[in-house]
Structure 1
């Protein structure tokens, strides 16, 4: 009876224990029978990139320049004399051909000074000829007066001898002496007339030379007052109108030859060394202009005679196809300097910093130090010009990766 009572008292306490044992057993069974997961393997990410196979060659540095069209034969026409503009068949911007009249002053304003100067020359020449005739007459007169003087001297001597012999009066001797003195004075005057000839001739010759110079100037003014085109060109500016009265030296118009156009652009100081070296080595330096989808080559003609702190002005020839340009137009050109050997070009996206690129070898990146030589153009596209220890055919990464380092795994895309 006592055992039965104990069993009745323990039966409620065993239920939680049995549940706990059952749960533990189920947990152990589930843990023992769960599937086994394979170990996780960590793999490096592969970065897709594009590459460029390089080939070392001879290339030129390219510098973008900004220049202005100029003419080295720009002529300003001024009025040689005061007058009226009688003929003005051209306007600013007109093209003209050789031999065409450009502007002219009134004939009366040009002919009158010419005729006056011509008459002055003739008058002075006539006076010079007259002076030569007077000189010949004065010489003959001097000879005559000397003969008369000799007669007067002999007359005085004769009267003196007669007076000593009391054959003549003293008054007769005095009269002969007076006549002698008067004749001596006449001879002095005749000598002076002969001696004055040289002075008068010198004066007249100087006046004739001056008159001839004035005549030549009037002749030049006559030609300059009618401007005839010396070559094919274009009118740059017209400063007067037909019918205007202008003063001496007033500007009439300006023009230039079509084949005198050139581009003036400044080469920066940092680029001058390579330009000088290129000129000394005989390289043909040039600039390239793109205009209306056309490419034009502009050879370097010369450098300016003086340098500035910012550089030196360079002058480039313009081809015939660009004769339509006008002085003052601004142009942007690419200047090709000295050709460099053993160099290669890559896009700017391939450059890291100022002197690093990455080469792909066996799917990994390898950094290479290079020398940055500036900019060049390949098929019209700007690229960086480099020189360094990189073999021909090397695959240079041109996709710019911010996290690029040596050893980074990459995959080359087509």
Structure 2
């Protein structure tokens, strides 16, 4: 009997001990719910006059570039220059072989000389025909008088009818000869004009051949840089075949497309005679906005900027990124793009470390102190000295609690962003 009660006794003791422990346990402290905060960086609002910039990207061109071509077919005898070489005005760039250039000139000169001789011969012929006409008219007069005498003799039966017929034939023959000579004299002006026209055409061909022979020695029309060399000494080239190009080292232009929304502004500034400058992002070369292209498309119109100063390594065909300075604006705030939520929203940090939604007006871009482009904005709801969050929070909303990061270096740097 006792053996049966032992397990029950042990079980009862265990249950009693568990109950005693549970009744004597300490009560845990009550946990108060805490609101989560988000760590952000902030900057102080500092309004000032700032210069917005318009980023542009375009191709550098040489509007005064000349492409030199072969005036005639021939073999390249000389090419003393190389691609990229700088040459002075009048320097020899290329020469064709004279064995190819002189024969056409000599042939053209011979044609002119031949036609000049034909014209002289025509004038001599005209003088001879005129003298012959006088003699032939005398012969016609003699024949006519002989006819009258023969007719008188026939009427008196002193001459035969055959002699009268012979006299008539002599008159007719003399009259025919005079008519032919007069016709030749009448045709003289037309023949002379035809020969003179042929000589003029031959002289034009001679002048063209002489011009081509002179142009076969290609010289630099101005001081410039050689580019686009397409031939080497010994090459056989055809007429009008490309040889090389030359462009002046000054006067380079940058053609960059301007978005449609800035065209009216830039056009108005140019019409007022204002000077707008741009600087290359890499290299620092300075450009001046000269004009807008005459044609455009729905994506925008090309702005043409002239290089001011030395090219400093720039070459036609290079792609250059520049920042075009627009007119300065008063009361502008420069902020990093990370501070922008959406297209026009910033968040101010109030005294309770909560975000306050603030709408802003975008004014453009400006170089920031970190070397990146910052955004220029204007906000009527912000005051000098306010703090705004510059950390982009995907879940940013009105009233969200934030905690300022201890690193305030961006606050100090943002006070004076570079223009």
Partner Cα distance (2:48, 2:402) in 1: 26
User: Per the alignment, in what secondary structure is the counterpart of residue 245 of structure 2?
Assistant: strand
1:302 aligns with 2:302: no
1:371 aligns with 2:361: yes
Partner Cα distance (2:199, 2:102) in 1: 20
**Change beyond 3 A, Cα 1:396–1:184:** farther
Deviation at 1:314, TM superposition (A): 2.3
1:223-372 matched pairs, under 5 angstroms: 223-292=214-283, 295-322=284-311, 324-337=313-326, 339=327, 341-348=329-336, 349-357=338-346, 367-372=357-362
1:4-403 matched pairs, under 5 angstroms: 50-57=42-49, 59-60=51-52, 62-292=53-283, 295-322=284-311, 324-337=313-326, 339=327, 341-348=329-336, 349-357=338-346, 367-378=357-368, 381-389=372-380, 393=384, 395-400=386-391, 402=393
**Change beyond 3 A, Cα 1:101–1:280:** same
Partner Cα distance (1:78, 1:401) in 2: 60
Question: Larger C-alpha radius of gyration, 1 or 2?
Answer: 1
Structure 1 gaps of 5+ residues are 1-39
- Cα distance per residue 1:19-45 (max 9 Å; x no partner): xxxxxxxxxxxxxxxxxxxxx9x9999
Partner Cα distance (1:187, 1:396) in 2: 119
**Change beyond 3 A, Cα 1:246–1:368:** closer
- TM-score, normalised by the number of residues in structure 1: 0.78
Contact 1:289 1:334 in 2 (8 A): yes
Deviation at 1:190, TM superposition (A): 0.3
Contact 1:89 1:102 in 2 (8 A): yes
**Change beyond 3 A, Cα 1:59–1:210:** same
User: Per the alignment, in what secondary structure is the counterpart of residue 144 of structure 2?
Assistant: helix
Structure 2 gaps of 5+ residues are 1-31, 413-419
Partner Cα distance (2:37, 2:297) in 1: 56
Partner Cα distance (1:323, 1:148) in 2: 93
Partner Cα distance (2:356, 2:214) in 1: 79
Contact 1:54 1:396 in 2 (8 A): no
Contact 2:102 2:213 in 1 (8 A): yes
User: Per the alignment, in what secondary structure is the counterpart of residue 228 of structure 2?
Assistant: strand
Partner Cα distance (1:49, 1:263) in 2: 40
Partner Cα distance (1:401, 1:216) in 2: 76
**Change beyond 3 A, Cα 1:110–1:409:** closer
Q: What is the aligned length?
A: 370
Deviation at 1:58, TM superposition (A): 5.8
- Cα distance per residue 1:83-131 (max 9 Å; x no partner): 2211111122222121210100112222221122122112212211221
Partner Cα distance (1:177, 1:133) in 2: 33
Deviation at 1:378, TM superposition (A): 4.9
**Change beyond 3 A, Cα 1:301–1:247:** same
Contact 2:267 2:292 in 1 (8 A): no
User: Per the alignment, in what secondary structure is the counterpart of residue 250 of structure 2?
Assistant: helix
User: Per the alignment, in what secondary structure is the counterpart of residue 143 of structure 1?
Assistant: helix
More strand by share: 1
Partner Cα distance (2:79, 2:392) in 1: 69
User: Per the alignment, in what secondary structure is the counterpart of residue 321 of structure 1?
Assistant: coil
Deviation at 1:220, TM superposition (A): 1.0
Aligned to 2:25: none
